[in-house]
Structure 1
Amino acid sequence: MKRTKLLPYLLLSNSVGVLVATSALAEVTPISQSPIIERSHLSEIEFPLTPVKGRVQQPESGKSAVVAQVDGNLVQITGVQLNPTEMGLDIILETSEGVALQAETRSEDNTLIADIPNAVLLLPEGEAFRQDNPVEGIASVIVTQQDVNSIRVTVTGTETIPTAEVMSSASGLVFSLTTAPDTAEMPPDAPEEIEIVVTAEPETGYRVPRATTGTRTDTPIRDVPQSIQVIPQEVIEDRQVTRLSELADNVSGVQPSVGYGGLPSNQTFIRGFRSGVNLRDGFRDFGFLSPRDVSNIERVEFLRGPASVLYGNLEPGGIVNTVTEQPLPYPFYEVSMTVGNYDFYRPTIDLTGPLTENRELLYRLNVAYENADSYRDFNENESIFIAPVLTWNIGPRTTLTTEVEYQNYNYVFDRGFRPEPEFLELPRSRFLGEPDFNDAEVDSFFGSYSFQHEFSDNWKFRQGFSAIIVNNDIREVNLRPLEDDRRTLPRRASMSDESQENYTLQNEFIAELQTGSIGHQILFGLDLSRYEFTYDFFGAPLASIDIFDPEYGAEPGDFEPSFAEEYGSNTIAFYMQDLIEVLPQLKILVGGRLDWSDIFYRNRFTDESINDLSEFAFSPRAGIVYQPTDSTSLYFSWAKSFNPQFFSRSRTDEAFEPERGEQFEIGVKQEFLDGRLAANLALYEITKQNVLTPDPIDPIFSIQAGEQTSRGIELEIVGEILPGWNIIATYAHTDAFVSEDNTIPEGDRLVGIPLNSASLWTTYEIQQGGLQGLGFGVGVFFVGDREARLPNTGLEIPSYVRADARLSYRRDNWQAAVNFKNLFNTEYYETQGFFLTPQAPFTILGTIAVEF
């Protein structure tokens, strides 16, 4: 593998040129050209979750308003910055959180006045801020404490009132002033207008109240009768996550699953069942083969329980949806560098903003590079990731977003250890392949577009298309069962070319209707998809190795074809869903999906079609939510899933029925501290039927006599206890076992699933005083013992308790952090269902990030 330690520094130096060029392009703060919105009072303004643009006509009182985010606490304004622009001036009111600001604006003569409630001015230079003649056209800018809980910003123009544009940013609230507004289209007697862009405040803190995965619509989580937990970007940054599977630590009922030979993935066990398919912005992604970089992830949504009603053939445990960052309507640039032990280097770049003065075109670009050695002998990896996004605001109700992700990932293919007791005696660094042979390279491409048009306030159409193309070139040493001396490991060399193609076209209508006093949010859609997986394997003999005293350098013999196959499906699906509001406190969710799948399975050596068949499946879901108070939701749900059997046929050459899953779930969702803290308690039972098990007449074949059951309790508490103090606490009791089988003993536990698991991650950042911006974090993670094989052989993956810690400092436009992972050097293992992979010992990662 070719690796270049110089590349991180080259990438950072090149980023400076990119940053300068982009800054010059996006520095202009343009004026919105959107139509006038006839609203004048703060309580009447609707706040969407995605950036929208609008012009607020000044009413007779001369007042207009914009909201970034409001809560009941006083927000500290810790700094005022004035940044001249080509059109005028940006006034940035800096906060420690960059959130929770509200502004009410009005004009008097040549003066613009903005009052900001629920805020306190804490400036290092004094009790007020004043700057005279900061730019041409503006006589003065004054920021003062108006009363005990509000701040006033006063901007006086030299001749005319400046045009104001108000936006939320990561740093706080931005007043973008234009000193020469365009009045050509305004009649002479038209009232003066204050132009305002209303942008949704990005979710901050650990609690995210809304998600799309559960309903494919933007819906409050408390209204969905199913367990959903969202991990936002703040958690990813605070924990310094470099592999998405790490986030399973913070979700109850979810365990990480090892990627393909060490490939970074978001594969997990959810409620006892391994999720073979995940979602990328709502599109299906067979994540076992495709790496997933964290640099452009906005949040990760975990939906627990069957999701076939919206997404087709899946395991019944649940699904994970990664949501990518989207372009912002204002300039934002960030460069970061992470370094760690084991020669870990990871620079990243995040650039976003408008490409045109009227903000019709917005862009975002994420770039990440990674180069690292490993705690595993002879392991190393190198990755380059590029992800541009472009949004075209075609009109007030029409948008088109296109995005591309490309990743090249080179790594040493290493599955770890076999599930045999002797391997648990080895040091976690022990490598059992061949240093000069084990190697892998993955090229992953993801491209998509999303077109959305609102016909009216009540009708919306969305069309989305995605293409995922992945090519894997792998050289692997296969590990066989130990010989009788319990130290000699037979091995065999293999080479493979593997490719995955996944295409999806989604068409959806969303309607909000009333039938009398009953409200409906109706979703109906049509999906067209094609999935294909192709592989060619070649094998060669390779010398055995002593696992306790390895000697490397064995050369493979002559390679011969082993097998070459191709399988996949073409699917047409129609689905409908209705979220019914019977009463404000009573909501019912019903839905169903019809899937028609043509499944193919072909031997590429003989060009013989082995398992072509057509499948029809109906996947229903129903649930009810009762909300006795504004902070409490009680729910019950029932759902079914299906998952086709691609590979196998019976002894009589008959195709198998798809696996069928069914879940019953009850739960309560409770909010505390005015919604800043939320808890979810769920009880469930899942039954999966038609599980393949060996044919008692001829074990080479299978029959569908198996059934697996998972029942459990899950609890999570997420949110902000006090300003600056965030927490995620989880507990899960998961009893996942074989409930019917003709060969496996009933009651055997499913592989990799602990009976009990719990976690706590909490951070605190000092909010004021001389140490403001200093932060601390600590995490404790417990996983009980797990079975290593099925049928259970008595070999258990040992339980463990692991601790992490964090120290950070945030100041102005930069921050630095040091994360300590596995603080006490705990030895523990993860699995993908068979192999045991030792996890990292004590690890340090340090990060510096600068915003521009």
Structure 2
Amino acid sequence: MIKHFPITTKITALLCILMLCVTGYAQNTRGTIRGKVITANNEPAAYVSIGLEGTTHGSATNENGEFSFRAPAGSYKLIISYVGVERVEVPLTLTAGQTVDVPTITVKANQSQLSEVNVIANSANRFTSRISTDAAKIPLTPLENAQSYTTVTSGLLKEQQVFNVDEALRNAPGIQKMWDATGRAGDGGGYFTLRGFVTQTRLRNGIAGTITNTVDAVNVEKIEVIKGPSATLFGSTLTSFGGLINRVTKKPYEAFGLEVGNNVGSYDLSRTTIDLNTPLTASKNLLFRVNAAYNTEGSFRNFGKSRSFTIAPSLSYKASERLSFLVEAEIFSGRSSAAPFFFFYSQPKDLGVTKVSDLTIDYKQAYVSDDVRQRSRSINYFAQMNYKISDKFTSQTVFSSSNSFSDGANPFYYLVTDALAKSFDPSVSITPSGRSYIARYDQSTKDSKLNSIEVQHNLNGDFNTGSIRHRFVFGLDFLHQNSNQVFFTNFYGIAPMNSKTFNYGSFNQALVDATNAANPLTINNTYPYFYKKDAYSAYLSDVVNITDQLIASVGLRIDHFKHSGTQKFDRSPDAAAFNQTAFSPKFGLIYQPVKDQLSFFANYQNGFVNPDIYINASGTPTIPKLQIANQAEGGVKMALFDGKLNGTLSYYHIKVSNSLYSVQSSVPGVFAQTQDGTQVSKGFEAEIIANPFSGLNIVTGFAYNDSKYTKADADVDGLRPVTAGSPYLGNFYLSYRLPETAVKGLGVGFGGNYVSKNKIINSVSGGTFELPEYYLFNSNIFYDRTKYRVGLAVNNLTNKQYYTGYTTINPQRLRQVVLSLSYKF
């Protein structure tokens, strides 16, 4: 009998065999260069780029200042060069099959100065990040981490002229935007789906950093998409079963730097940015940096304006060689018109539709005047203290305060049958299609606030027991959330879906104010979120080098959750208080057949959620059980050919238990639920970041997700959840910089995304409604010099009409041309 294997298994096996063969051949023609770099203070110089002059061969030091990489036999100069400090050159001769031990290199700089490192050799791979300190809360290279994650670097964002985190995530495989940011307190930024589950950008440098509106990237050094349930290290409140999005911010460094930029473009785009860094003392133990952006933009629709301001100051203080402090703030303020979201009031079955082309939505119509706007604001504060206990142990204490606010109207539109529209407005005429109208509502907020405080302490160690190396973190974490959010809705009449004569601008601020005055907020027409939540946690994770090539990891979190109970608008009790305790383990295993170049990995990851109290079939309030997710994942990671070929191939299987779903109640008029549902999400992901030859860089990815309810309400049992997004996703970006013998600094880029059909309604009773698949292309050209940079980007190159959403239809921006200029002083 011939056994057939899935195509993804065949591809993975073939690639692994090919990589092993090629790497084995390369080992016979290359030698190894290794050594250590220290600072002027005789400390290990961590994460410093180092390379061979005139080649693409190089590496970066680890947290101990050590480096090791392979190169073809020959004579070279090993080069390190960085801003404001004398460059270092070390001549060497490399023999095939041999190892050259370079004498310890001293760089005339302190560690923080090294953030400005530039490699003289042509960088082997501009869009990779060699070390992450947040993904495992331990400094690890991707090949040492048994969990999948993707890093989007600031260099890639600058080249693509991407200004916010939402757009930056188009470079990460397996993640899909579903909603633009609503601007409402508590909602966070945009909504995404990752491995079949909804997630948002809620973490900053590994701790709470919620932002109400679209997250500006002016202060972002890199973005990490950490995949799979991750409650062991990050808890449950800020993550999802699909993973999490962590933004890593820019830090002060020990040199003066000033960069100002200006961007103009289609739809009246105007954006001004500044990045100022300066030492405040002669000894450079007190450093200051501020990043800021002011952004205004119109819309491709006939109405729509947005205005936002972001400022992120940071101050670092080095009290001694052992003790240092970092204080930061983020202030995001915005005022914008709402983008139209189309919901299904009447189900697709009743409307007789299955796809967008069955409707007559006017793609360029805002359906509202642009004076209907919402105010949003996020003010976040952070403080960090680092203490070096010894060469083997460090201590870190972090404080975070996140404060979000919103107030104002947020129009939502509902698709209705003509018959239903006529019941709302008797003047409506029945049309041949029977689906020619929308009902105009809003989901607005009134002085809504969500405040979070997180205090976290981490003890990190790097030591040996015999011949076994341990890298561990022990952490204590306290997270407090205080919600005072008020949502409400009003009805603003029926409007035709597509009309050349109807005055859609009549839905304006005057109408909103009059409607609000006529309908004062009461317990009957509001949806309050009044509650307090506390989570007290302790966690431990240990990465153990059993041998140089075999690495195991183990972790456990203990989490005690306290819910104060919820209140109604008049502050009377609604749901009772309750407590829960959760245990979240994780395990990982890595084997590197070729050390630091190829690793096979497997993991077990766990996640949990504390659901709110629900009403059971008997009409009784019920304290929920923990909702649990367990993931098994395996795959291969690579950093081959001296970092010219990097990537991850992985297969995952996530099972969620104790899901809530609706059931028939014995009490009339009661919405009842039970909690024995299950869901399975499994899939394959691939990411490749390559530098095939000097000047050309490639970023590409592919993801397939198969998600379905395996026990749920009969209406959706066995079907794909609407939160899972599209089953197939693809992304790519090609960048080419002309060689220095031509026009130094001139380059071009071209990229795009593929998104397959997305079932935003998928049930027996409602039917199925799909958003169409789409291909989206972007291009840019840039001229990048030491002192200045000029760029021209064209986003949505083919002017494609496309949609995002889950349970909704959300038209997206058409072609936009952006011109950028920045200058460094």
**TM-score normalised by length of structure 2:** 0.80
Aligned mates of 1:65, 1:212 — CA distance in 2: 15
* Aligned counterpart in structure 1 of residue 288 of structure 2, from 359, 363, 374: 363
* Aligned counterpart in structure 2 of residue 490 of structure 1, from 439, 444, 453: 439
Contact 1:776–1:807 (8 Å) recurs in 2? yes
* Aligned counterpart in structure 1 of residue 180 of structure 2, from 256, 259, 263: 259
Contact 1:460–1:511 (8 Å) recurs in 2? yes
Tell me which residue corresponds to 1:708. 679
Instruction: Indicate the SS of the match to 2:255.
Output: coil
Q: 1:248 to 1:196 in 2, by over 3 A?
A: closer
Aligned mates of 2:533, 2:454 — CA distance in 1: 12
Deviates more, 1:409-418 or 1:815-824: 409-418
Q: 1:753 to 1:194 in 2, by over 3 A?
A: closer
CA drift of 1:802 comes to 1.1
Instruction: Indicate the SS of the match to 1:350.
Output: strand
* Aligned counterpart in structure 1 of residue 389 of structure 2, from 444, 448, 455: 455
Pair 1:599-2:573 in alignment:
no
Tell me which residue corresponds to 2:51. 71
> Within 5 Å, which residues of 2 pair with 1:263-282?
265=189, 267-276=191-200, 278-282=202-206
Q: 1:538 to 1:560 in 2, by over 3 A?
A: farther
Aligned mates of 1:244, 1:614 — CA distance in 2: 35
Q: Deviations over 1:280-326 (max 9, x none)?
A: 11112445x35421101000011101110011113211011000000
Contact 1:75–1:100 (8 Å) recurs in 2? no
Pair 1:666-2:630 in alignment:
no
Aligned mates of 1:675, 1:495 — CA distance in 2: 50
CA drift of 1:491 comes to 2.5
* Aligned counterpart in structure 2 of residue 542 of structure 1, from 475, 481, 492: 492
Tell me which residue corresponds to 2:95. none
Contact 2:386–2:395 (8 Å) recurs in 1? yes
Tell me which residue corresponds to 1:345. 270
Contact 1:434–1:477 (8 Å) recurs in 2? no
Aligned mates of 1:67, 1:492 — CA distance in 2: 53
Deviates more, 1:675-684 or 1:293-302: 675-684
Aligned mates of 1:196, 1:431 — CA distance in 2: 55
* Aligned counterpart in structure 2 of residue 508 of structure 1, from 458, 461, 472: 458
Contact 2:660–2:675 (8 Å) recurs in 1? yes
Pair 1:696-2:664 in alignment:
yes
Q: Which amino acid aligns with 2:604?
A: W
> Within 5 Å, which residues of 2 pair with 1:17-32?
none
Aligned mates of 2:559, 2:665 — CA distance in 1: 34
Aligned mates of 2:207, 2:672 — CA distance in 1: 34
Pair 1:387-2:312 in alignment:
yes
* Aligned counterpart in structure 2 of residue 551 of structure 1, from 503, 506, 510: 503
Tell me which residue corresponds to 2:98. none
Q: Which amino acid aligns with 2:308?
A: S
Aligned mates of 2:451, 2:59 — CA distance in 1: 44
Q: 1:276 to 1:467 in 2, by over 3 A?
A: same
Pair 1:431-2:366 in alignment:
yes
Q: Which amino acid aligns with 2:36?
A: I
CA drift of 1:417 comes to 2.0
Q: Which amino acid aligns with 1:303?
A: I
Aligned mates of 1:644, 1:728 — CA distance in 2: 37
Aligned mates of 1:514, 1:526 — CA distance in 2: 24
CA drift of 1:369 comes to 0.2
CA drift of 1:609 comes to 4.5
Contact 1:602–1:611 (8 Å) recurs in 2? no
Aligned mates of 2:601, 2:683 — CA distance in 1: 16
Tell me which residue corresponds to 1:581. 545
> Within 5 Å, which residues of 2 pair with 1:444-843?
444-484=378-418, 485-493=434-442, 495-497=444-446, 498-549=448-499, 550-552=502-504, 553-554=506-507, 555-556=511-512, 557=515, 558-561=518-521, 562-563=525-526, 564-600=528-564, 601-630=566-595, 631-646=597-612, 648-650=614-616, 651-697=619-665, 700-751=671-722, 753-791=725-763, 793-831=767-805, 833-843=806-816
Aligned mates of 1:593, 1:619 — CA distance in 2: 5
Contact 1:250–1:760 (8 Å) recurs in 2? yes
Deviates more, 1:332-341 or 1:375-384: 375-384
Q: Deviations over 1:375-405 (max 9, x none)?
A: 1331110011111000101111221000011
* Aligned counterpart in structure 2 of residue 212 of structure 1, from 127, 133, 141: 133
Aligned mates of 2:141, 2:653 — CA distance in 1: 24
Contact 2:536–2:560 (8 Å) recurs in 1? yes
Contact 2:183–2:214 (8 Å) recurs in 1? no
Aligned mates of 2:397, 2:331 — CA distance in 1: 23
CA drift of 1:508 comes to 1.1
Q: 1:530 to 1:335 in 2, by over 3 A?
A: same
Q: 1:574 to 1:548 in 2, by over 3 A?
A: same
Instruction: Indicate the SS of the match to 1:662.
Output: strand
Q: Which amino acid aligns with 1:473?
A: D
Q: Which amino acid aligns with 1:668?
A: V
Aligned mates of 1:311, 1:838 — CA distance in 2: 34
Q: 1:277 to 1:611 in 2, by over 3 A?
A: farther
Aligned mates of 1:55, 1:622 — CA distance in 2: 36
Tell me which residue corresponds to 2:336. 411
CA drift of 1:736 comes to 1.5
Contact 2:734–2:749 (8 Å) recurs in 1? yes
Aligned mates of 1:847, 1:467 — CA distance in 2: 34
Tell me which residue corresponds to 2:3. none
Q: Which amino acid aligns with 2:410?
A: E
Q: Which amino acid aligns with 1:635?
A: F
Contact 1:291–1:444 (8 Å) recurs in 2? no
Q: Which amino acid aligns with 2:205?
A: D
CA drift of 1:723 comes to 2.5
CA drift of 1:201 comes to 4.9
Q: Deviations over 1:543-568 (max 9, x none)?
A: 21111114231535312322233124
Aligned mates of 1:151, 1:495 — CA distance in 2: 60
Aligned mates of 1:327, 1:266 — CA distance in 2: 28
CA drift of 1:251 comes to 1.5
Aligned mates of 1:747, 1:194 — CA distance in 2: 61
Deviates more, 1:418-427 or 1:790-799: 418-427
CA drift of 1:202 comes to 5.4
Instruction: Indicate the SS of the match to 1:249.
Output: helix
Q: 1:65 to 1:278 in 2, by over 3 A?
A: closer
CA drift of 1:647 comes to 6.1
Contact 2:40–2:107 (8 Å) recurs in 1? no
Q: 1:847 to 1:195 in 2, by over 3 A?
A: closer
Aligned mates of 2:681, 2:817 — CA distance in 1: 37
Instruction: Indicate the SS of the match to 2:221.
Output: strand
Instruction: Indicate the SS of the match to 2:342.
Output: coil
Aligned mates of 1:623, 1:658 — CA distance in 2: 24
Aligned mates of 1:231, 1:515 — CA distance in 2: 36
Contact 2:190–2:213 (8 Å) recurs in 1? no
Instruction: Indicate the SS of the match to 2:158.
Output: helix
Instruction: Indicate the SS of the match to 1:722.
Output: coil
Aligned mates of 1:453, 1:54 — CA distance in 2: 17
Aligned mates of 1:621, 1:491 — CA distance in 2: 48
Q: Which amino acid aligns with 1:715?
A: A
Deviates more, 1:564-573 or 1:464-473: 564-573
Contact 2:790–2:821 (8 Å) recurs in 1? yes
Aligned residue pairs: how many? 703
Q: Which amino acid aligns with 2:445?
A: S
Aligned mates of 2:361, 2:47 — CA distance in 1: 59
RMSD, matched Cα: 2.9
Aligned mates of 1:67, 1:692 — CA distance in 2: 46
Tell me which residue corresponds to 1:168. 82
Contact 1:571–1:595 (8 Å) recurs in 2? yes
Q: Deviations over 1:343-390 (max 9, x none)?
A: 000010001131111110111111100011011331110011111000
Deviates more, 1:815-824 or 1:511-520: 511-520
Q: Which amino acid aligns with 2:361?
A: L
